[in-house]
A and B are shown apart, each in its own frame.
Chain A
Amino acid sequence: MSGDVLAITEHRRGDLRDVSYELIAAGRQLADALGGDLHLAVISGEVSDFADQLNRDGVDAIHTVDEGEEFNHDVYTQVITQLYDELQPGAVVMPNSVNGLDYAPAVANRLDLPLVTDAIDFSADGTLSVTREQYGSKVETTVEVDADHVALTIRPGEWPAAEGTGEAEIAAFDATIDESAVKSTVTGFEEVGGGDVDITEADILVSVGRGIKEEENIELVQALADALGATLSSSRPIVDNGWLPKNRQVGQSGKVVTPDVYIAIGISGAVQHVAGMKGSDTIIAINTDPNAPIFDIADYGIVDDLFDVVPALTEQFE
């Protein structure tokens, strides 16, 4: 596999996202394994400011592309394919974020690159091996990529953020945008899930997940929250089902919470949920499946049926 790595950074509404610094660490790891340089691209927005912030240890070159204010997948796809043609890197590394998933598959298709998404690790010893998760984190798999060039997306939160001050060469890249091929327009942003309760302010969160099975059963968990003087929150499926409003959702697409105590009830611990609550001071999990990923980050746990444990616990506080 060819040596150089091109990593595509991400920003939103004027701020670089954390995954951009993680891309530097992941990209450096891959560039070292392949024996090449690490190039970053920063596309749209205040690209010069972003480039200064991204100039950290391990970056060899930063290409700024001053096209538009915010992310647009049609622009990103065109820019990245042109940068790729210019640099001919062995790997294009992109974030496995919502926006990453909105352009990475198109980039891979357009450049005819094999695509491996949601990487949590990789190694290269002649051949690139990528580690992924399947079946809701129940198994890990490795795939080998037998090609000279590859497109990868990396899972946010899996690599440390790069630090230190770098000595990267920063240069503007003149992309040619075919405006007739830009057929999507971002018309605005909205913050969702206001409402009367702010779960990010709560000291104690009692959080309910798919294990609760029926909407009526949420009462059980609400009763516990009331008895504890806690706030009720939930994982995504509860909100998807319309059983609780969006402002109660903890996770990547919901709120990031950091309470003193987080009690996860019937929550398996999908990576998107964990991203929103792993900063809690003490995490307690109640789940029937001893192998549920929630126990990997819990400090305390009960492996039992929530329908037995929750009423018993509520009784203790009533």
Chain B
Amino acid sequence: MKVLVTVKEVAEVEDEFEIDGLKIDERYLDYDLNEWDDYAVEEGVQIAEENDDVEVVTVTIGPERAEETIRMALAKGADRAIRVWDDSLEAADFIDVATKTDILAAVVEEEQPDLILSGVQAGDDAFGATGVSLADAIGFEWAAVVNALDLDVESGVAHLRRELEGGIEELADVEIPAVLTIQTGINEPRYASLRGIRQAQSKEIAPKSLGDLGLDASVTESEITLTSMYEPESESDATIWEGSADETAGKLAEFLRDKGVGQA
């Protein structure tokens, strides 16, 4: 069987930053594997370890720079990778859910996976929608916010838990082929071993343009346009204690004692 894992390279923003138009200035960004996708990769690799003849393929929509992140997923055990990018994607200000869905659906058409794992959301734009949108587009079943998975390959059913709000979990059975969006905490993502990192160097990252997937630039057209980006005004009216760590700790201790804390 084949497991396709969607992997996104996301930008993390430093504590202090500047916005340049509709983007955060590049100087303040660090790029990394999307946290939720890290858990999805781990889940895919564990499925491969627990079952015979499982291939784990990652797919990324992203520029060449993303290959560093993709190599991390390969070093953790994915077998090969696909990276989709071209000039029209580069030129798009905003790649919306529908565009990602169209692109990933075209990759699914080529790859014919049995199971697709996707992070619940991306740490940068946080739309949280691609996995379920993709499932509907390709006619797969799905489940969102999965935090435990027991895949029964023989019967073609994924027994899973979905993490609802308030410490409640839903137990559900989902028929595969399916798209599951993976919540953090479902497993413990491994660190890439030195051996894995060495092996990843020889694994394939296949670059694809929209044209390679039978798509054209029209797929990037969107009815949604990013029009502004700004730092939210702080709503803080907190009293901030100033001074050295000893001084601020002293002020906080005094405050807590006044409240009767630590008096027992």
Contact = CB atoms under 8 A, between A and B. Distances in A.
Contact of B228 (A117, A141, A192, A297): A141
A38 B161 CA distance: 34
Nearest to B254: A316
Interface residues of A, number: 97
Contacts of B16: 291
A193 B128 CA distance: 25
B82 to A, nearest CB: 22
B224 A106 contact: no
- How many chain B residues sit at the interface, stated as a range, is 35 or more
B234 A291 contact: yes
B144 interface: yes
A116 B133 CA distance: 12
B102 to A, nearest CB: 10
Contacts of B85: none
Interface in B149-183: 161-175, 181
Interface string A213-233: 000000000000001111000
Contact of B97 (A105, A138, A295, A301): A105
Interface of A is mostly: mixed
Interface in B135-153: 135-137, 141-145
Nearest to B147: A253
Given A105-B129, A300-B241, A204 B15 contact: no
A261 B24 CA distance: 36
Contacts of B261: 204, 228-230, 261
Contact of A109 (B101, B120, B181): B101
Contacts of A137: 232
A69 interface: no
B163 A117 contact: no
B224 A295 contact: no
Contacts of B130: 105
Nearest to B248: A302
Interface string B79-97: 0000000000000001011
B141 to A, nearest CB: 4
B223 A138 contact: no
A106 B140 CA distance: 11
A186 B171 contact: yes
Interface of A: 12, 17, 73-74, 77, 96-99, 101-106, 108-110, 114-118, 129, 132-147, 183-193, 204, 227-230, 236-237, 239-242, 246, 249, 252-256, 260-261, 282, 284-285, 288-292, 295-305, 308-309, 312-313, 315-317
- 6 nearest A-B residue pairs (beta carbon): A308-B245, A312-B249, A316-B253, A240-B185, A105-B133, A106-B136
Interface of B: 11-13, 15-17, 19, 24, 94, 96-98, 101, 120, 123-133, 135-137, 141-145, 161-175, 181, 184-185, 188, 222-232, 234-236, 238-241, 245-246, 248-250, 252-253, 255-256, 259, 261-262, 264
